[in-house]
Amino acid sequence: MNNMVELSIAKAINAGMRKAMQENEKVLVFGEDVARLGGVFRVTEGLLDEFGDKRIFNSPIAESGIVGTAIGLAMRGFRPVAEIQFDGFIYPAFNQIVSQLAKLTNRSEGFLQMPVVIRVPYGGGIGAVEHHSESPEAYFAHTAGLRVVSPSNPNDAYWMIQQAIQSPDPVLFFEPKRRYWQKGQVDLDQQPIGLHSAVTLKPGADVTIATYGPMVVTALQAAEIAAQEGINIEVIDIRSMSPIDFGHIAESVKKTGRLIVAHEAGTFVSISSEIAAKMAELCFYYLEAPVIRVGGFDVPYPAAKLEEIYLPDADRLMEAVDRVLAY
Amino acid sequence: MTSPDSEIPMVQLLTLEGEFSAAREYAEYAELIRELREADFLKFYRDMARIRRFDNEATALQRQGQMGLWVPAVGQEAAQIGSGYGVGPNDHIFPSYREHGVAITHGVDLMSIVKMYRGVNHGGWNPHETRFHLYAIVLGTQALHATGYAMGLNFEGRVGTGNPESDLAVITYFGDGATAEGDISESFLFAATHNTPQVFFCQNNQWAISSPVGTQTKVPLFKRGEGFGVPGIRVDGNDVLACYAVTKKHMDDARNGKGPTLIEAFTYRMGAHTTSDDPSKYRDSAEVEYWKARDPLIRFEKFLRKQGVGQEFFDEVEAAGDQLAAEVREATFAMADPELESMFDHVYSDPHPLVEEQKAWLQGYEESLGGHKPETPGDDSVNYGGTR
């Protein structure tokens, strides 16, 4: 009998970090307000009391400094877990992430490893002010040398954060902030699958919806609605945006012939663009309809009063389902 | 001349005439020089001359199309050799991209620098082994890496224990232009708040490509750290003894837990920013003449001669320089291009399917064309980006 507990995503990430810190004293946690406060979302709550201020500490409000010093700490043999407080605050660190963190292993011909995890609460849906609701994952997935992942449920949150910390490569760990309080069963004994594997959450025969992070719940809702209409949707949680488990998605598309890719980010030059292009390559003769992308609009993330319209919901997914089935 | 603050006092231990002359306020630095032996002085000179000869040869090789770019450090030899020897043998160095002189003080193979500027790789030396980290081309980025590294030394308890075998410090090099980058300011802040064992070594060579130092700052650069809690000091960057002593003292202090210091080495870039610019377009020849009179090698040669070092030594150094230049030339001509597939190596430490897939595709593509033949040295079709 496995050791199962019910945790929220936030608590599961906390538990995963705690375990990683217990297992390896080289794991350090830092960022803005992560120590006494436990982070603005309390994801690091309690770690200070357990590990002390040499293992978890507050950083000055300087994102480039947070990532730049994380790189230096990794060079010294630490495994830094740096928090960027909100998605829209990551851009001051963009240079350190893209020009340095992503390239140092390559530039040093393997002499330097960069086991750095950058945790980023991302996405909308919490009624926040500007710069607190963005989905910048495509910028990082585009950059060679980075790994980009996002859990969608507490069990994955618990295990994926540990796998990310164990990775010898830099990992952008995007946390679906509007789902932080979503609860679920966490198996504390059994590691599910690898960090970069996609997983089918609901099998189906008619249409595949592939998505990740905060939209996974939305896709499962759409699948329920569709079932009432006699449409059998398969839901895939992509989990990793770099690398992408194209094989898993292709296998599903070969079965259903119809694919919808969804995320909160705008669709132009996005994760869904990449998946659509790749499925055209891998599944050309199996596709019954063009791959349809469902995402936010290609506008700056709107003011909170409009975000319900901006964010794709189950109805928007159903509209796409109707479109792919019309072929 | 170039900078409104050039009259500010700075640590100087050698007059322009090569006299050892320490003002009373610099006595603690002068003391460090008195601990040196003649062999140390000869080593300083030998390395300054060696790096200048190498530098001039590298510029010539770039002009002949053997390198994509060269970044000369001529004029900055005292700042680099002096400070490089002020760093302890186990300390870590985070350079910018012009620190060829510092590199030789820590045993970095000069050909690995040639390799990078020839376009064969992006560096590739082992920073763990050399303790001289990779060149950083995006200005100021390396200062944060140095600070993070130094924070790690604090966490490990490798600072201020009094055990010289164990205690460590780091030094980061950057120029006057880089001080404008936010990463330098953020580094000062993180260093000060973490009391890191660290020296910030700014070579103010007066020019950031074509922009004079006044474009980057309204205050003397050694004061730039004060507001963050990093005290600063200016040293005559063309005085190898002063650069050695000031660096040694503040690295020792850092190792002993006294926190970070900013050293501004006031010097001059006698040549171009890189082989791709022409400094005569943006600065006066009178200024260059002013600084030629302050040439760090000439000043130190005068000092050595006053110490009784004979012509034989200088002849020997010159001959060694010629030999080095010939070796560098030969090794550069013989340097093979990288294997095609090497671009896919070490993109990640763990395998990444996209990289693997593209590597396999390229191999298949090349085979379909009859296989790739690496360009052989001396092949006229080779173009390294330079003019032939």
ipTM (interface pTM): 0.97
Token couple for B343? 């671009």
Distance CA B55, CA B46 (A): 14
Sequence-distant (≥ 6) Cβ neighbours of residue A314 within 8 angstroms: A218, A221, A222, A225
Q: Count residue pairs from A and B with Cβ separation < 8 A.
A: 141
Q: What is the pLDDT of residue A2?
A: 80
In a domain, A194, yes or no: no
HEC sequence for B299-336:
HHHHHHHHCCCCHHHHHHHHHHHHHHHHHHHHHHHCCC
**Scanning every residue of chain A, which has its alpha carbon at the shortest distance from the alpha carbon of B344?**
A106
Do A165 and A209 lie in a common domain? no
**pLDDT value at position B3?**
52
Whichever domain contains B214, its CATH number is 3.40.50.970
**A106 contact residues in B (CB cutoff 8 A):** 122, 345-347
Task: Please state, in angstroms and rounded to a whole number, the distance separating the CA atoms of residues A174 and A166.
Answer: 16
pLDDT one-digit tens code per residue, A39-84: 999 999 999 999 999 999 999 999 999 999 999 999 999 999 999 9
Residues A70 and A147 in one domain: yes
User: Which DSSP string corresponds to B226-249?
Assistant: GGGT--EEEEETT-HHHHHHHHHH
Tens digit of each residue's pLDDT (9 = 90 or more) over A231-280: 999 999 999 999 999 999 999 999 999 999 999 999 999 999 999 999 99
Same structural domain, B358 and B213: no
Q: Which of these is catalytic: A131, A132, A248, A263?
A: A132
What is the 8-class DSSP label of residue A301?
Answer: P
Q: Is B131 marked active-site?
A: no
- Rounded to the nearest angstrom, the minimum Cα separation between B118 and chain A is 15
Predicted model pTM? 0.96
Whether A62 has its CB under 8 Å from any CB of chain B: the answer is yes
Question: Among residues B316, B333, B350, which one ends one of the domains?
Answer: B333
Same domain, B125 and B233: yes
**Alpha helices by DSSP H, A176-287:** 215-228, 246-256, 271-282
The DSSP symbol for B167 reads -
CATH code of the domain containing A251 = 3.40.50.920
**Partner residue opposite B186 with nearest CB, options A62, A71, A76:** A62
Which residues in B lie closer than 8 A to residue A242 (C-beta atoms)?
352, 354
- B243 & B367 share domain: no
Reply yes or no on whether B365 is catalytic: no
At which of A140, A167, A187 does a domain end? Answer: A187
Looking at the structure, do residues A147 and A240 belong to the same domain, yes or no? no
- Partner residue opposite A145 with nearest CB, options B143, B145, B347: B347
Contact B144 A72 (CB under 8 A): yes
Last residue of a domain, one of A138, A165, A187: A187
Task: Mark yes or no for CB contact B122/A112 under 8 Å.
Answer: no
**Residue type present at position B219:** V
A282 shares its domain with A206: yes
In a domain, residue B291? The reply is yes
A105 dihedral zone (left: phi>0; alpha: psi -120 to 50; beta): alpha
How many percent of chain A have pLDDT more than 90?
98
Residue whose C-alpha is closest to residue B3's, from B240, B234, B215:
B215
Domain-embedded: residue B41: yes
Q: Calculate how close chain B gets to A225, using CA atoms only, in Å.
A: 36
Q: Is A230 on the interface with B (CB under 8 A)?
A: no
Our CA-based measurement puts residue A159 at a distance from the nearest CA of chain B, in whole angstroms, of 18
**Same domain assignment for residues B197 and B282:** yes
- Active-site residue, A132 included: yes
Indicate if B149 and B208 belong to the same structural domain: yes
B260 and B377 belong to one structural domain: no
Decide if A65 contacts B189 (C-beta within 8 A). Answer: yes
Say how many Å lie between the first and final Cα of chain B, rounded: 37
Helix, strand, or coil here: B200?
Answer: strand
Determine the Cα–Cα distance for residues A160 and A163; give it in Å rounded to an integer.
5
If asked whether residues B37 and B126 sit together in one domain, one would say yes
Closest CA to A209 of A96, A132, A293: A293
Task: Say if the Cβ atoms of A243 and B354 lie within 8 Å.
Answer: yes
Peptide bond into A80 cis (omega under 30): no
**Beta-carbon separation of B193 and A144 below 8 A:** no
Residues B152, A73: C-beta atoms closer than 8 Å: yes
Residue A192 lies in a domain: no
Contacts of A61 in chain B (CB under 8 A): none
Return the H-helix or E-strand segment holding B55.
Answer: helix B38-63
Using a CB–CB cutoff of 8 Å, tell me whether A281 touches chain B. Answer: no
CB of A78 less than 8 A from some CB of B: yes
* CA torsion angle A88 A137 A313 A289 (round to 10): 150
In this structure, the strands spanning B232-236 and B211-212 are: unpaired
Residue B93 included in any domain: yes
> Which are the contacts of A113, defined by CB distance < 8 A and separation ≥ 6?
A74, A105, A168, A169, B349
Asked if the structure places residue B11 within a domain, the reply is no
Is A45 in the same domain as A143? yes
Domain region containing A155: 4-187
Q: A208 and A171 share a domain?
A: no
Nearest-angstrom CA–CA distance, A244 and B353: 9
Query: Distance, in angstroms, between A98 CA and closest chain B CA?
Result: 11
B151/A72 touch (CB, cutoff 8 Å), yes or no: yes
Chain A neighbors of B128, CB-CB under 8 A = 111-112
Total count of domains within chain A: 2
Residues B294 and B357 in one domain: no
Number of domains, chain B: 2
Contacting residues for B102 by C-beta, under 8 A, at least 6 apart: B80, B81, B83, B84, B87, B93, B95, B132, B173
Residues A178 and A204 in one domain: no
Per-residue pLDDT of chain B (388 residues; tens, 9 = 90+): 445 466 788 999 999 999 998 888 999 999 999 999 999 999 999 999 999 999 999 999 999 999 999 999 999 999 999 999 999 999 999 999 999 999 999 999 999 999 999 999 998 899 999 999 999 999 999 999 999 999 999 999 999 999 988 999 999 999 999 999 999 999 999 999 999 999 999 999 999 999 999 999 999 999 999 999 999 999 999 999 999 999 999 999 999 999 999 999 999 999 999 999 999 999 999 999 999 999 999 999 999 999 999 999 999 999 999 999 999 999 999 999 999 999 999 999 999 999 999 999 999 999 999 876 655 555 544 444 433 3
Read off the tokens for B182.
């936010």
Minimal Cα–Cα distance from A118 to chain B, Å? 15
- Cβ-Cβ contacts under 8 Å for A160 (sequence gap 6 or more): A16, A149, A151, A173, A195, A239
A96/B141 Cβ within 8 A: yes
Q: Which of A68, A106, A111 has its CB closest to that of B148?
A: A68
Q: Is residue B184 part of a domain?
A: yes
CATH number, residue A114: 3.40.50.970
Both B314 and B355 in a single domain? Answer: no
Tell me which of B287, B310, B333 is where a domain ends. B333
- A209 with A317, same domain? yes
Residue B130 resides in a domain: yes
Q: What is the C-alpha to C-alpha distance for residues B100 and B119, in angstroms, rounded to an integer?
A: 17
Look up tokens 């770039």; give the residue.
B62
Write the DSSP assignment of A133-191 as a string of letters.
S---HHHHHTSTT-EEE---SHHHHHHHHHHHHH-SS-EEEEEEGGGTT-EEEEESS--
A160 and A205 part of one domain: no
For every residue of B88-149, DSSP letters joined together read: -TTSEEE--S--HHHHHHTT--HHHHHHHHHTS-S----HHHHSBPPP--STTHHHHHHHHH
Same domain, B198 and B116: yes
Q: Note whether B365 and B319 are same-domain residues.
A: no
End-to-end Cα spacing for chain A: 47
Same-domain check for residues A164 and A227:
no
Which of A108, A163, A167 is the best mutation test for B, with the most CBs of B within 10 A? A108
Residue B367's domain comprises 342-388
Contact B148 A71 (CB under 8 A): yes
In a domain, B47, yes or no: yes
Q: What is the pLDDT of residue B239?
A: 98
The reply to whether residue A76 touches residue B189, judged by beta carbons under 8 angstroms, is no
Domain boundary among A158, A187, A216: A187
CB neighbour burial string for A231-258, b if at least 16 within 10 angstroms, e if fewer: bebbbbbbbbbbbbbbebbbbbbebbbb
The whole-angstrom distance between residue A215's C-alpha and the CA centroid of its chain comes to 10
Does A57 map to a domain? yes
Q: Which of B186, B198, B339 best probes binding to A when mutated, by most A CB atoms within 10 angstroms?
A: B186
Residue B8 lies in a domain: no
Q: A193 in a domain, yes or no?
A: no
Q: Are residues A297 and A148 in the same domain?
A: no
Residues A35 and A175 both lie in one domain? yes
Rounded alpha-carbon distances, angstroms, from residue B129 to A27, A108, A259, B124, B125: 24, 12, 51, 12, 8
Min Cα distance B347 → chain A (Å) is 5
Whether residues B324 and B347 fall in one domain: no
Give me the catalytic one of B92, B145, B255, B269. Answer: B269
